[in-house]
Structure formats: structure tokens, C-alpha cells
A and B are shown apart, each in its own frame.
Chain A
Amino acid sequence: MTSPRASRHPAATHPTPPADATQQLEVVSRPPVIRAIAPPALGALTVVAVMASLVVGDRSISPGTVVDALLSTDMSVIDHQVVWGSRVPRTVAGVAVGAAIAVAGALVQALTRNPLADPGILGVNAGAAVAVAAGVSLLGIGGMQGQLWCAVIGAFIATVAVLAIGAAGRGGADPIRLTLAGVAFAAVMTGLTTAITLLDVRAFDAMRTWSAGSLAVRGIGPTLQALPFVAIGLLAAAAAARYLSSIALGDDLATTLGVPLLRARLLGILGITTACGAATAIAGPIGFVGLMVPHIIRWIVGPHQGWILGLSALAGPCLILGADVLARVATPGGMPVGVVTAFLGAPVLIAMVRTRAVSGL
């Protein structure tokens, strides 16, 4: 006969999570049925967003013609040229950028345990921007290819610098120190970018289109070059995912649970910088997507970091493509997607700050 005590006993030998964390898990967790429905539903939504992005544009092309263009391409037809020359590159860019920024956002929120964090908070955007400006101004690097490499390298340098600043002194790189270092670094880099663009007309022109955050890419080439970086970022995020739920409980507890903190953080940083640097290089700094998407997903599936990361990779493209299509429908000449996400994102941010319940990690 097994004693009821015996079955309860082993659990008691494990460290007990703090009361508030347990409570949070119980409050925000969703029933399994929602987790089962969420992936196919989001997948379907993504397919709809992709189709909308391919069909909606300045030139009116019927969905049938779009399918024709994709399946039996005839490049002597102008509509087919437009589908392949404009809509496919833009859609691929939207999917890559959306997935990368959303996953980077989920990673940075989990790592810093800061529900209001965004990839911008680690100075990634600012580092990429200053590198692009400096590349144009000092080295005469023009064109999308040069811009891409400048942005990725800038994002890496920014992250390393922020980590070094944040980890200096006693206690190492704790989330608050890291966040502060990121914000301070971003402020300095933004000032530098402004100075460069004020002093150099060519840099000013190059930054003007890029800094608005636009999917109007010039051909698919630059996006394809950035895709490996996005892929590395997503893989690193997947590798880090299993540690993140424990890290959300605090460093001490995570260590006690056997999480290799340094390795988890390095994986997370790798994911954030490669994914976000590449996304920023493709489309410029697009704000709020990295903030909004993980929150929405967390609200749907509860605080399980694996689910949040995976579903963010689906929901990010939905949001970016949706915002881009919205901009094309609502304004005659279209509008940079970064402007639309800012319009959508700012009210969401305010709502989140006011109702703390949805933003618990």
C-alpha cells in the first residue's frame, strides 16, 4: 500500500517557488484547449495576411492573377513583373522582419524580466542606426548591401557594449542594470546619429528613408542576404527557450533549478542581436512590434516561454503585414510600416502600463 504522504513527499524536496510566482502561474495559465487552437488559428491568420500583402497594392491585380503569377510565371506580363518585383519581396521582408522582431521582443522581455522591454531597450536599433549613418558618412558605404552589414555589425557592437557596461561592477549583468545600460547607450548613439546626419547631407538623405521603417525594399536581394541572420536568431531563441521560464522566476531560483544562467543569457543575446539587427537592416527600426506581440501571445497562452516564442514567430508577421496592408489601403501613396506600428503600438503600450494584469511575466 502506498501512503498518500509518500507521493506528496518528493515534491517537498524541490525548492518551492515564491508564493507570488505560483499565484501568477495559476492566474494567467490558459486551459490546454486554447493552446491547441492557438497555433492553427495563428497559422491561418498568417496565411491570410500573406495573401493580403500579395494582393493589395497601388496596381489593382486580382487574386487569381496573383496565383497565376506565382504558379505559372510569365515575366512578359506586367502584373506578373509587379508581383515578383514588388509584392513578393515586400511580403518576404514582412514575414522575416515580423518574426525576427517579435521573437527578439519575447526574448528581451524574458531575459530582462521587464514586461515593458523592447529590442530597442538593449540599444540594438540605435547601434544599427549609428553604424549605418557612420558607414554612409565616413566610409562612403551606399546601397542596401552596405547598409545591411553596417546595421548588423552595429547591432552586435551595441549589444556587446551594453553588456560590458551593464556587467561592470559588483553583481554582474542583472536585468535592471542591463536595461539602464541599454537606455543610456541608445541615448548616446541616437545623439551621435543626429550629429552625423546634421553634418553630412548624404547621411541625412540615406537615413531619412531608412529611419522611418519601411518594407518598400528594392528587390528581394537584401532580404535574402539578411535571412541567414534571422535564421540564426530564431535558432538561438529556440535553444534559449527552455531556460526562459525558469529565468522569469529570478536568477537565484533559476540557478537553484539548474539553469546555466550565463549560457542562457548568451543564447538570448545572440538571438536578440542577430534577429533584430537583421530585421532593422531590412526595414529600418520598426517599433512596438517586439513589445506588443509577446504580450498578446502571453495573454492567450499564459506564461510559458516556449509557447510565447513559437507563437510570436507567427504573430509578428501577421502584425507587420497587417499594418503594411492597412497603410496601403488607408493612404494613397502608402506609408512606412514603422509609422503604422507606432500608431497602433503607442495606445497598446499606454493600455498595458495602465492595466498591469496583462503584462505579468
Chain B
Amino acid sequence: MQRRRFLTLSSLSGLSVLGLAACSGSESASEQDPGPGGEQAFSFTPANYDGVTISLDQAPVRIVADIYSAAALQPYGIEPVGVFGFGATGSGKGDLDLDALNVLGLEGELSLEKLAAAAPDLIIGVGNQEGTGWTWWEDEVRDQATEVAPFLPIRMGGTPPEMIQEYRALAQALGADSDGSEIATAEEDFNAARERLRTVTGQKPDLTVLAFNTTGDVIYTSTTLGVLNMLAEDGVALVGPEAPEESSWAEVSWESIADYPADVILQAETSVGYEENPLWLSLPAVEADQIGTWDDKRAYTYVAQTAWLNELAAVLEDSERIIP
């Protein structure tokens, strides 16, 4: 309740200074190097949004992005004039240095005042169902934010390589170099890491893996998120309860988690409050120290995903079948 009021308040104050801030913003824009893009028209059709195409007369120069998108666009040299959203503390921010960036608000908050002052040409972020705005915005915030600049939605849910390709295509549309040698090398490394994973799952096809996430009181597991679909493609035998139809996550209590035995547990990097729980410590995979990590919000860059895939492959290489 308190947080919602806070948000509304900042939304309202943002509206009142919109005109003023936009003025000062365009002034500073003219001082900047136009960078990639420039005079050419811009058009991008995000994947899996039926009929949504974002077209601008000029390629956008000043870009505001949510942290996930800013991290995914970073390898192509795209530097946003402002970032917002979730992911400030986890692996979702990739190699972003948030201290060096203009943060417009964290988590669900967004300062419309700061957004207007950043004077973006385009806002990029995780899209809602229709692609009209950021998926975590309330309608009022969406309306006011998209008045500042058009919103370009990215549909989540794909596997990491699919999501990386989507951001890569967007980077290209924005006029950035998306095929440089550095990117090509990173892609090769990524494919090599997946090959390594396929090798180990080929040698140990029976090794069962449970993707685990907990807030302390409740455990959430998944077998259907994009990143897990990639693991399944590479032969990882994922186990766990079936998620309800409307969600990718299944809820399990600590008392019931032993009903889903697994040889290896991937503990989410965001999990909290489980380390001292005796029911965690008595899980076979924990007793055998066959624990890896995962994060469904990990930045969609080849470098970030490759590092994790190699760690995961190493864990699986060292793991044995322990569930009878």
C-alpha cells in the first residue's frame, strides 16, 4: 500500500514537470554525439507480438531501457541514457555498472520526472501482454511514460539463444554493430558451452535435475521457463511438480519437497532463507553436495550465459546418480 502511494505520487509530480524537463532534456541531447543511427528511419517488429511494429522517422539515439534490456544490449555498444526496473542486485544486470548509469527508479518504481529529464527517443523493456508498455507498469504509469517516448516491448519466455538473437536484431535495427568479431567469438564460446553440456548429459542421461527457487517459506520450482527449455534441449533430465496452467512456477512446501527427489539441485541465485533449514540439508543432492545454480533472469548476453553454462556442465560432470 505504502509503495503504491509512493509510486502514484512520483507519477503525478512527473506529469507536472513534463514540459519543463523535456525542454532541458532536448537541450542536452543536442550536445551529445549523435552516435549510431542518425538520419535513417527506424522500424522494428519484436518477435511474438502479433502486428506490433515500432516505427520512427529517425533512428533513436537516446534510449531508456529496463535493466534486463540494457544488459542485453550492452555487448553491442548501446549505452542507455537511463535505466529502470528489476535486476539491480542479481545476474539480470549482466556487466552493467549501475553506479555509472542514470537510474530512473528501481524495482516497480519509475520517476517520471527523471524519465522526462532523460529525454529518450525510445523506451525498451520487457513487454506486457499486448506490447503496449512495460509488463510491471500500472496503467497510469504506462500512459504517462509512453507520452514521453514510444515503448518498444520485448516478449520474454524464449530460450536464452532466442532472446539473445532478439536483442541482437534490435541492436542491429538501432544501427549498432551486431556482427563484430567479439560477438562472433562470444557466440562460438556459447555454442561450445552448450556442446559441453550435451556431452555430459549424453554420458549421464539418467541424472535428474531439479530447478529450485525459494523465498524461505515457500519453494518454487519450474520445468518450463525459457532457460530450462534450453537445458532440456541439451538433454538435461528436469524433474519436479507440474506447474499450474497459468504459471511457469509450481509451488511446493518444505514438507513435500522430498517427494521430488533429484540427483542435482540447481539453486536459484536469488534464493534466500534456506541455508539452515534442516529439510534443505537433508535433501540427498545437498548431502552429496551436487548443487548448481541458475537464474531465469540472467542477462541475455553470450558472455553471461556461457559462464553459467560452463559452471553447470562442471557440476554435472562431477555429479553421480544418487537417487535409487
Spell out A's residues near B (CB within 8 Å): 57-59, 75, 78, 81-82, 84-86, 89, 142-144, 194, 198, 201-202, 204-205, 209, 214, 216, 218-221, 333-334
Contact = CB atoms under 8 A, between A and B. Distances in A.
A85 B89 contact: no
Contact of A209 (B106, B217, B274): B217
Given A58-B253, A86-B279, 13 more contacts: A82-B279, A84-B278, A85-B277, A85-B282, A86-B255, A143-B275, A143-B276, A144-B273, A198-B6, A209-B273, A214-B217, A216-B217, A218-B216
A205 B272 CA distance: 10
A205 to B, nearest CB: 8
Return the 9 tightest CB-CB contacts between A and B, nearest first: A85-B278, A59-B255, A85-B279, A58-B253, A58-B255, A78-B258, A218-B277, A219-B276, A81-B282
B258 A82 contact: yes
Interface string B106-134: 11000000000000000000000000000
A81 B287 CA distance: 13
Nearest to B215: A209
Q: Is the interface of B mostly helix, strand, loop or mixed?
A: loop
Contacts of B308: none
A333 B218 contact: yes
Contacts of A75: 282
B2 A219 contact: no
Interface in B1-40: 2-3, 6
Interface in B249-280: 251, 253-256, 258-259, 272-279
Nearest to B3: A198
Interface of B: 2-3, 6, 88-89, 106-107, 215-218, 251, 253-256, 258-259, 272-279, 282
23 contacts: A58-B253, A58-B255, A58-B256, A59-B253, A59-B255, A75-B282, A78-B259, A81-B258, A81-B279, A81-B282, A86-B255, A86-B279, A143-B273, A198-B2, A201-B106, A204-B3, A205-B272, A209-B215, A218-B216, A218-B276, A219-B276, A219-B277, A220-B278
Contacts of B89: 201-202
A255 B275 CA distance: 53
Contacts of B282: 75, 81, 85
B34 to A, nearest CB: 36
B256 to A, nearest CB: 5
Contacts of B216: 209, 216, 218
Nearest to B258: A78
B2 A333 contact: no
A81 B89 CA distance: 34
A349 B259 CA distance: 43
B284 to A, nearest CB: 10
B256 A59 contact: yes
B221 to A, nearest CB: 15
B282 to A, nearest CB: 5
A184 B274 CA distance: 37
Contacts of B251: 333
B139 to A, nearest CB: 22
B218 to A, nearest CB: 7
A204 B282 CA distance: 30
A112 B253 CA distance: 43
**Most A CB within 10 A of own CB, among B6, B256, B276:** B276
Contacts of B2: 194, 198
Nearest to B88: A201
A142 B279 CA distance: 20
Contact of A333 (B88, B253, B259): B253
A220 to B, nearest CB: 8
Nearest to B283: A81
Contact of B273 (A78, A89, A202, A218): A218
Contact of A82 (B88, B215, B218, B255): B255
**Most B CB within 10 A of own CB, among A85, A205, A334:** A85
Contacts of A58: 253, 255-256
B218 A221 contact: no
Contacts of A209: 215-217, 273
Contacts of A204: 3
**Most B CB within 10 A of own CB, among A75, A201, A221:** A201
Contact of A81 (B3, B107, B278): B278
**Most A CB within 10 A of own CB, among B89, B255, B275:** B255
Contacts of B275: 143
B52 to A, nearest CB: 31
Contacts of B259: 78
B211 to A, nearest CB: 20
A344 B254 CA distance: 27
A130 B106 CA distance: 23
Contacts of B279: 81-82, 85-86
Contacts of B215: 209
**Most B CB within 10 A of own CB, among A85, A142, A216, A218:** A218
Contacts of B278: 81, 84-86, 89, 219-220
A142 B235 CA distance: 37
Contacts of B274: 218
Contacts of B106: 201
A321 to B, nearest CB: 17
A333 B215 CA distance: 14
A198 B256 CA distance: 34
A296 B270 CA distance: 45
B262 to A, nearest CB: 14
A223 to B, nearest CB: 12
